[in-house]
Amino acid sequence: MMVLKREGLNSNVFLETEILAMPNAVIEAMNIDLGRLVTAYLCNVILEGRVAFGNVFADRFRRFNHGNGIHTSNILSKPVVKGYVLLETLNSVYVVCTWAGDGFGPRFSGRVH
């Protein structure tokens, strides 16, 4: 089993995960300093109203397993930094690694944060 240890950007928190569990898009995004403390990385993202649905990876608070479907709280801003859309909520910053195609997206499991 290969294990990847990576220090979270601007953080003292170490993320440990099986490298095979991480999509390449997430690994690439984790290697870029976006100038903000990142809460987690999202794949297969769809926006509905003021929230986003997606599969979460590398949650720095370890609330979710890699790949869990979540939705964010209300999005306050969506700046683009170094080619990545950041979804900023009151307490979190999510990096959009991939967007879902039309009619596709993660299934919501009911976890709210």
pLDDT tens for each residue of 61-87: 999 999 999 999 999 999 999 999 999
* Higher local confidence (pLDDT), 29 or 22: 29
Predicted pLDDT of residue 17: 46
Q: Which residues contact residue 39 at a Cβ distance below 8 angstroms, ignoring those fewer than 6 apart?
A: 59, 60, 61, 91, 92, 93, 94
* Higher local confidence (pLDDT), 36 or 108: 36
Predicted pLDDT of residue 87: 98
The residue ranges of every structural domain in the chain are: 3-96
Query: If pLDDT is split at 50, 70 and 90, which confidence band does 105 have?
Result: low
Predicted pLDDT of residue 103: 58
In 3-state terms, what secondary structure has residue 103?
A: coil
Q: What backbone phi and psi angles, to 5 degrees, belong to 75? A: -85, 125
